[in-house]
Amino acid sequence: MKHTLKYFFSFCLLIVQVLAQAQETTETKTTSEKKESVSKIPEAPKVVTAKIDTIVPVKKDTIVPVKKDRYGVRVGVDLYKLTRGLYDSNYKGIELVGDYRLTKNYYAAAELGSENKTTEDDRLNTTTKGTYLKVGFDYNFYENWLDMENIISIGLRGGFSTFNQELNSFKIYDANPYWGELPWQTSGKSYNGLTAGWAEVVTGVKVKVYNNIFVGFSLRMNMLLFDKKPSDNFENLYIPGFNRTYAGNFGAGFNYTVTYFIPLYKKTIKPKKSVKK
């Protein structure tokens, strides 16, 4: 978990830098444009008296930024799950992520994953294996400048998982340890055919770093809607995709992704706002 946090934080910082850089460059562009326009203004009155033609290119300048939104499919993987297996011997997992742009701000989004996780609690050692699918949408509330395609989104997912749990070993809780420390007992009992469904609220960021390659992270708050518990004498301690279960049916998760955008078609945006102004 410490490793996880360390990598997570370092990634957050990286993202923050990328965001900051992205903003700085565009800001300098706009400021330079402003400077140009400012520097042009004092010249203008002089020219107007001589040539009237110069007005025409000025008009063209206002029309030039014809915004075209690219529509397509974005596919990728969750790097966190992929790399965790390298340093955590108790974990193997993969998550494929994808989204499809429906309208200007709405994206259909899905995650498909598989996990194999051994959890070592103080008195329980369990292994959970299973697959999951999350389907939903993201709403991008980030207003991009020019041809930027960054996303800051909030979204919803419905998640479903089928999985098995195996109780490897356990300890008896003894509030009165007169007979000495109790040893771990091996069990090996497996509980198959378990299912769970939940809803997720997702906040996420995706930043275009190079051509069609995006990096992003998302934070998820999960609410368990239903789960098929083991038939007797046990409960679902970990659900693939949902993560660790807590008493109040709440869970949390995150991912950081690298995705590739496959453009399919373009739509021109009519600059409605500039017309109104």
Partner 1 sequence: MKKIIALLIIILFTSSSCEKDDICDANTPTTPRLVIDFYNISNASVLKNVTNLKVIGDGMTEGIVFNSGASGDAQYLTNGSSISIPLKTDSNSTKYTFILNSGNPNPTLIDIDEVTFNYTKEDVFVSRACGFKTLFTFVPNNPYIQTAVPITKGKWMQVISVEKSNIANENETHIKVFF
Residues that bind partner 1 (CB under 8 A): 5, 8-9, 12, 16, 19, 23, 121-124, 141-143, 152, 170-179, 182-183, 185, 203, 205, 219, 233-235, 237, 246, 252, 254
Q: Which is nearer to partner 1, 121 or 147 (CB)?
A: 121
On the 0-12 / 13-18 / 19+ scale of CB atoms within 10 A, 273 is: exposed
Q: Which is nearer to partner 1, 87 or 184 (CB)?
A: 184
Helix (H) or strand (E) holding 21: helix 2-50
Contact yes or no for 171/146 (Cβ under 8 A): no
Q: Which is nearer to partner 1, 18 or 133 (CB)?
A: 18
Smallest distance, partner 1 to C-beta of residue 230, A: 9
* Cα angle: 203, vertex 209, 213; to 5 degrees: 85
Tokens read off for 102: 């429906």
Q: Which is nearer to partner 1, 107 or 254 (CB)?
A: 254
Smallest distance, partner 1 to C-beta of residue 66, A: 23
Smallest distance, partner 1 to C-beta of residue 170, A: 5
Helix (H) or strand (E) holding 119: strand 106-120
66 Ramachandran zone, left/alpha/beta (phi>0; psi -120 to 50)? beta
Smallest distance, partner 1 to C-beta of residue 206, A: 13
